[in-house]
Amino acid sequence: LPLHPVRQAVATRLGTPNPANAAAVIAGLRGAAGDCLAGRLHGIVTGPVHKAVINAGGIPYTGTTELLAEQAGCPVVMMLANSIVRVALVTTHLPLRAVADAITSEALSQCLRITHAAMQRDFGLEHPRIAVLGLNPHAGEDGHLGREELDIVIPVLEQLRGDGMQLIGPLPADTAFLPQKLSGCDAVVAMYHDQGLPVLKYSGFEQAVNITLGLPYPRVAVDHGTALELAGRGIADPSSLMAATELCARLAARR
């Protein structure tokens, strides 16, 4: 297994990330992405990155998903998955007060198209069935609890159904993950981060992975944070990393 070292500014101490090494972290990510874009690598598996430390090092950073999308110059969708459910997100790392303004017809349509294409190409589903959550409680209650479903979500779903996509919804988020509702669905599209991910993580956190849909190469990440308190103690659970590595290899074989 060839190793490509990235020089750090200061020596690393387990469990104590140093903002002085932020540039080295980003260089490693960008280097791997560049090799994928050039065809020298076939995929990337990434571990957790401490966002606060990177930003403290003077590098604006909201997440690896956004960094890879910017470098590849293409729109992407964040999907988290385990053996029970796949959840794609229309918005990712936004304050909750900013979510409603970010749910536009263009953003939703783009998310659904990317998710649909990835289900076909990466997961071999010719006619994927995708459940779409509403933004508001009870999916807006016919406009009484918000108009985003009436003004944005329903028109987009109707348009894309006309293009042949099998879309279910908008569904109230509080009941959408019941087993009988998930039956027959290949993926769920949630409007924001904490709408769709708590159920997924509760149903199988150890095997959950983060997939970036839309990149020209497969990228799969662990679905957990840095957990600095576990560093160097030999008690961290590698299940998510193993699942991410295995899935990335399978996705690369399909490209």
Classify residue 94: in a domain, yes or no. Answer: yes
Which are the contacts of 131, defined by CB distance < 8 A and separation ≥ 6? 167, 168, 169, 171, 176, 181, 182, 185, 187, 188, 189
**pLDDT score for 255:** 85
| pLDDT for the residue numbered 53 | 95
What is the largest distance, in Å, between two alpha-carbon atoms of the chain? 59
Q: In this predicted structure, what is the pLDDT of residue 206?
A: 85
Same domain, yes or no, for 255 and 174?
no
In a domain, 219, yes or no: no
CB 127 within 8 A of CB 116: no
Strands 129-133 and 166-171: parallel
pLDDT mean for each 10 residues of the chain (255 residues)? 86 92 95 96 96 95 93 97 96 94 98 98 96 97 96 98 97 95 94 95 90 98 93 93 96 92
d(CA 198, CA 133): 14
43 and 12 share one domain: yes
pTM higher than 0.85, yes or no? yes
So what's the pLDDT on residue 12? 87
Tally of domains within the chain? 2
Residue 204 has a pLDDT of 85
Residue 220 within a domain: no
Q: What is the pLDDT of residue 244?
A: 96
- Cα–Cα dist 73/54, whole Å: 22
Q: Quick one: 81 and 197 in the same domain? A: yes
pLDDT at 54: 95
Shared domain check, 124 and 37: no
Range of the domain at 62: 1-74+225-255
Question: 179 and 82 in one domain?
Answer: yes
pLDDT, position 93: 86
